[in-house]
Amino acid sequence: MTDSGSKIAVVTGAGSGIGRAVAVELLRAGWSVALAGRRPATLEETAALAPEGAALVVRADVAQPDDVAALFAAAVDRFGRVDLLFNNAGTFGPGGVPVEELPYDAWRHVVDTNLNGAFLCAQAAYRQMKEQDPQGGRIINNGSISAHTPRPHSVAYTATKHALTGLTKSLSLDGRPYGIAVGQIDIGNAATDMTARMQTGALQANGEIAPEPVMDVADVARTVRHMAELPLAANVQFATVLATAMPYVGRG
């Protein structure tokens, strides 16, 4: 804890979309937050929405082990500990590409960001949470409803989100002796730049193109904050938050 008594979070992919919304929600609730991402300019825009001194901007590519180590070192140097990691950084990869045409480099980029990056950040958080006093903390992984049901032509993204569920379960089990709680939020159609195309038309399982409903990203941020602020004796293992009318529950 810092001298002010605030809790400390690391949020990856904090320069836009869900990452920015969650970071701002935490900052306005009194948390101190290390904002991580590959683009310092967008991270600074997020920091500008925060109370003065509560945000730390750290340029980091989560797929690079040295960047991840430097991120957590900077957070601890500034704030003294880490109470929460929101493992959010991710990419869809190239959209609409059939599996037989997906370049291997594109596959590797999605795997490196969505899965390897999540592991590296969780590992760094785990080490810090195990060593600090008082011991413990929380990791929330940003999954996807693709961890349950894929979209057409999304093999890399879907595979990594299924793998992320396994990562969440293993981390949750291994963290028990050290007071480290690990959960996952699976999100469907939060309104961000990454999902803008869904409102104009997205490929459905039956081959049709149809617009899909979206929800306010602030609803996701409030859910993450609820998960984050539970006592460590309680954990939301999996939460699914989605636009009510999106074509997810049912057949199509």
> With bands split at pLDDT 50, 70 and 90, how would you rate the model's confidence at 1?
very low
Nearest CA among 162, 211, 209, 204 for reference residue 184: 162
pLDDT above 70 (res 68): yes
pLDDT at site 58: 98
Neighbour tally for 216: CB within 10 Å: 12
Amino acid letter at 198? M
Burial of 131 (C-beta count, 10 Å sphere; 0-12/13-18/19+): exposed
pLDDT above 90 (res 52): no
Looking at residues 228-234, what average pLDDT do you find? Answer: 98
pLDDT at site 250: 72
- Class for the domain spanning 8-242: alpha beta
Nearest CA among 72, 17, 90, 14 for reference residue 47: 14
Tell me how far CA of residue 180 lies from CA of 60, 123, 173, in angstroms. 24, 12, 9
Sequence ranges of the domains in the chain: 8-242
* Residue 190 β-bridge partners: 215
Max intra-chain CA distance, the chain: 56
> With bands split at pLDDT 50, 70 and 90, how would you rate the model's confidence at 4?
very low
Q: What is the Cα–Cα distance from 165 to 124, expressed in whole angstroms?
A: 18
* Residue 11 β-bridge partners: 35, 86
pLDDT per position as a tens digit, 92-108 = 888 778 999 999 999 99
Structural tokens at position 184 = 């996952």
pLDDT at site 94: 86
Tell me how far CA of residue 250 lies from CA of 8, 149, 187, 189, in angstroms. 40, 11, 17, 16
Task: State how far Cα 169 lies from the chain centre.
Answer: 16
Structural tokens at position 171 = 């981390």
pLDDT above 80 (res 114): yes
> With bands split at pLDDT 50, 70 and 90, how would you rate the model's confidence at 154?
confident
Dihedral angle computed from the Cα positions of residues 37, 40, 45 and 51, in that order, rounded to the nearest 10 degrees: 80
Residue the block writes with tokens 């370049």: 103
Least confident of 70-79, 149-158, 174-183: 149-158
> Pairing mode, if any, of strands 137-142 and 238-242?
unpaired
Of the residues 126, 157, 178, 248, only one is catalytic, namely 157
pLDDT at site 173: 98
Task: For the chain, give the percent of residues with pLDDT over 90.
Answer: 75
Q: Is residue 248 flagged as an active site residue?
A: no
Q: What is the Cα–Cα distance from 208 to 78, expressed in whole angstroms?
A: 51
